[in-house]
Amino acid sequence: MSDTPHFPLSAVVGADALKLALCLTAIDPKIGGVLIEGPRGMAKSTLARGLADLLASGQFVTLPLGATEERLVGTLDLDAALGEGRAQFSPGVLAKADGGVLYVDEVNLLPDHLVDLLLDVAASGTNLIERDGISHRHSAKFVLIGTMNPEEGELRPQLLDRFGLNVALSGQTAPVERGQIIRRRLDFDSDPEGFCAQWADAQAALRERCQQARGALVHIPLDDQSLALITERCFAAGVDGLRADLVWLRAARAHAAWRGAVAIAEEDIEAVAEFALRHRRRETPPSAPSSGQSPQAPASSNANPGEGQGQWGEMPAQALPIGARREVPSWPKKP
Dist CA 51 CA 9 (whole Å): 8
- Torsion-angle region of 213 (φ positive above 0: left; ψ -120 to 50: alpha; else: beta): alpha
178 included as an active-site residue? no
Side chain identity, residue 331: W
Secondary structure (DSSP) of 152-201: G-PPPHHHHHHSSEEEEEES---HHHHHHHHHHHHHHHH-HHHHHHHTHH
Alpha carbons within 13 A on the beta-carbon side of 32: 26
The strand pair at 101-104 and 143-148 is best described as parallel
The set of residues, in sequence order, having a beta carbon less than 8 Å from that of 274 and lying 6+ positions away, is: 322, 325, 326, 328
As a whole number of angstroms, the distance between CA 52 and CA 71 comes to 21
Q: What are phi and psi of 110, to 5 degrees?
A: -70, 135
Residue tagged active-site, from 156, 243, 278, 326: 243
Distance, in Å, from the CA atom of 183 to the CA atom of 181, rounded to the nearest integer, reads 6
- Contact residues for 112 (Cβ-Cβ < 8 A; gap 6+): 156
Cα 308 from Cα 261, distance rounded (Å): 23
**Reduced to 3 states, what is the DSSP secondary structure of residue 71?**
helix
Q: Look up residue 242 and give its DSSP letter.
A: S
User: Side chain identity at 202, as an amino acid letter?
Assistant: A
Distance separating alpha carbons of residues 222 and 205, to the nearest angstrom:
27
Rounded-to-integer distance, Cα 113 and Cα 119, Å:
10
CB 221 within 8 A of CB 28: no
Q: What are the catalytic residues?
A: 243
